[in-house]
Structure 1
Amino acid sequence: MNIPASSSPFALAVCAEMVFCDLPMIERIKRIDAMGFQVEIWDWTKHDIDALIESGATFSSMTGYVSGTLADSCGADELLGTALESIKVAKRLGIPRLNIHGTGLDGKGLPVKPCQFLTGAMWLKARETLNQLAELGEHHGVTFVLENLNTEVDHPGVPFARLADVLALVESVNRPGLRIMLDVYHAQIGEGNLIELIRRCAPFIGEVQVADVPGRCEPGTGEINYPAIARALHDIGYRGTVGLEGWASMDDERALNRFRAAFLL
C-alpha cells in the first residue's frame, strides 16, 4: 500500500538513475512522479530534455556540470563553463539545485583526475571556484550544492570528499548560491557520527541524500537508524528535500514506500 506523499514533513525525491532500472528513463520518471515523489537525475547530457519536460514531473536536482575540477585553473574554467550550460537546462526543467563534486566522475563514479593529497593552493583555488559558482547561481536563481562522497568504497581519489571538508569550503564561501548536498550514506562510510554532523552542517544544508550501509539500498536495509536521522533533521529545522539515491533491495515500489516510511514523524 502506498503511504500518502503528504505524510512526511520533508519533500521526498527519488533518483531515477537507480530505481525501475528495467524501464526506459522516461517511464522511470513517470513511475516515480505517480508515487508522489520529486525526481533526481544525474548527467543531463544523457537525457532527452524535451521528453523530461513533457513528463510533467517535478525535478529536485541534477548534476551541475559536465566536466572540470574545482582546484586547478584549467579544470576550474572548464567546470564553470559547463556549469553555465547546466544552468540553462536546469531552468528549462525547473530544477532548483545543481550538484557539484571535487572533480568530474566517470561512468563508474571514479574521478577523472584522481587526487590523493591536497595542497593549500588547491584549497584556495577550490574556494575561489565555488565562490564563482555561487555568484552564477545567485544571478540565475539556482543553488549549487557541493556533495560529500566516500573514498573508501565508491569514489576513491575524489578530492574534498569528506563532509568535514565540504562544510569547511561551503562555510568559507558563505553565500546563498552555494550549499551542501549532505549525503548520509557517504558520510556514514567516511566519517560516522551522523547526527552531530547534521547539527554542524545545519545552516548550510541545501538538500539531503540517503541510502543505507552496506549495500546502498533504501533505508531499513542496513545499519543507519533513519528514524533518528529524520528526527535530527526535523530538530534542526530542516524542511527541504530528502532524496533516495540508492538501489531497491526488493520490488521497487515497496522499496520507495519503505524510504517514505523512514521519514514520517
Structure 2
Amino acid sequence: MNKPTSSSPFTLAVCAEMIFLDLPMLERIQRINEHGFQVEIWDWTKHDIDALANSGATFSSMTGYITGTLAGAAGADELLITAAESVEVAKRLDIPRLNLHGTGLNSEGLPVQPCQRITGAMWLKACDTLNRLADLGEQHGVTFVLENLNTDVDHPGVPFARLEDVLALVESVDRPSLRIMLDVYHAQIGEGNLIELIRRCGPYIGEVQVADVPGRCEPGTGEINYPAIAKVLNDIGYRGTVGLEGWASGDDDLALDRFRAAFSL
C-alpha cells in the first residue's frame, strides 16, 4: 500500500529506470514504493512481469509499444500490433497509461527511423494511427499518451517531438483514450514558455513528467521554477499524476524528497 504523498494535490510517481541504479529492478521498485510513490517503467519486454505483478507496487505508466512508428504505413501497422501486446501486459500490472513517441526509439533514445521533415501526408497518417490507438484504448479501458521529446539534446531526429506538435495531434483526434504525456524537461529544452504551454495543454494532459535542466536530475537542481509549475498545474485543476523521470543528482533518497517537496502545495 502506498504511503500518502504529503500535501500534494497530485499523484506522484517515480521512474524506476532512472533511480536506485545500483539495485536490481525489483528492489528499485520496492524502494520507490516504500517512499510512497507510484512506479513508471519503460520497455516491458526487459522485465519479469510476474515479479512486477507481485511486487506490491502501484504502476503509473509504461511504454505502450515495442516497435513501429506513427506516420508510415507498415510502421503504423507494426505499432498497432505491438501496442495490443503492450495492452495485455498493462492489464496484468493494472497500468492505466501507455506511452507513445513519434517513432520507435533504440536503447540510447535515438529514433529507429530518423526524420528531419514532417510532410502533410505524415500528419494525416499520424492522426489515423492515433485514432486506431484510441480505438484500442477504449476497447481495453486504458489511455495512450503521446510524449513530447527534445531533439536538441536527447532525441535528435524524432518526428512530432515538440509539444506544439503533440498538442496539435491530440487535439485533432480529440478522444479521451488519447492524451498528452507532458514532459516538462523536454519542453524546456525544445520550446520554453512552460507556463503558457501547460495552460494550453491543460484539457488534454494525461500525465506530467518532470526533471530539471540541465542534467535531467530532480527538481531544484537546475533552471526550471518547479514551484511555479506545480502552482499552474494546480490552478488549471490538474489532479493527475506527476512523475519524476530524471536521475538523482546525488543521494537517491534525497532526490525523491526534493521531488515530493517541489509538488507539495
TM-score category, normalised to shorter length: over 0.9
1:102-251 matches, within 5 Å, as 102-251=102-251
Gaps of 5+ in 2: none
Helix, strand or coil at the partner of 1:259: helix
Structure 2 counterpart of 1:95: 95
Between the aligned partners of 2:112 and 2:4, the Cα distance in structure 1 is 41
Query: Shift of the alpha carbon at 1:7?
Result: 2.0
Structure 2 counterpart of 1:13: 13
Helix, strand or coil at the partner of 2:12: strand
Query: Shift of the alpha carbon at 1:4?
Result: 5.5
Helix, strand or coil at the partner of 1:6: coil
Helix, strand or coil at the partner of 2:6: helix
Gaps of 5+ in 1: none
State yes or no: 1:261 paired with 2:257.
no
| Paired amino acid for 1:130 | L
CA deviations on 1:186-206 (whole Å, 9 max, x unpaired) are 000000000000000001000
CA deviations on 1:12-42 (whole Å, 9 max, x unpaired) are 0000000000000000000000000000000
Segments ≥4 residues shifted beyond 2 Å: none
Between the aligned partners of 1:16 and 1:203, the Cα distance in structure 2 is 28
Contact 2:6–2:264 (CA under 8 A) maintained in structure 1: no
Query: Shift of the alpha carbon at 1:262?
Result: 0.2
| Paired amino acid for 1:216 | R
CA deviations on 1:77-125 (whole Å, 9 max, x unpaired) are 0000000000000000000000000000000000000000010000000
1:37-48 matches, within 5 Å, as 37-48=37-48
Q: CA RMSD in A?
A: 0.8
| Paired amino acid for 1:70 | L
Between the aligned partners of 1:249 and 1:6, the Cα distance in structure 2 is 22
| Paired amino acid for 2:31 | R
Between the aligned partners of 1:222 and 1:159, the Cα distance in structure 2 is 27
| Paired amino acid for 1:177 | S
| Paired amino acid for 1:81 | I
Query: Shift of the alpha carbon at 1:250?
Result: 1.2
Between the aligned partners of 2:115 and 2:97, the Cα distance in structure 1 is 26
Helix, strand or coil at the partner of 2:215: coil
Contact 2:151–2:158 (CA under 8 A) maintained in structure 1: yes
Identity, % of aligned positions: 82
Query: Shift of the alpha carbon at 1:5?
Result: 1.6
| Paired amino acid for 2:225 | N
The number of aligned residues is 263
Between the aligned partners of 1:4 and 1:55, the Cα distance in structure 2 is 18
Between the aligned partners of 1:141 and 1:4, the Cα distance in structure 2 is 26
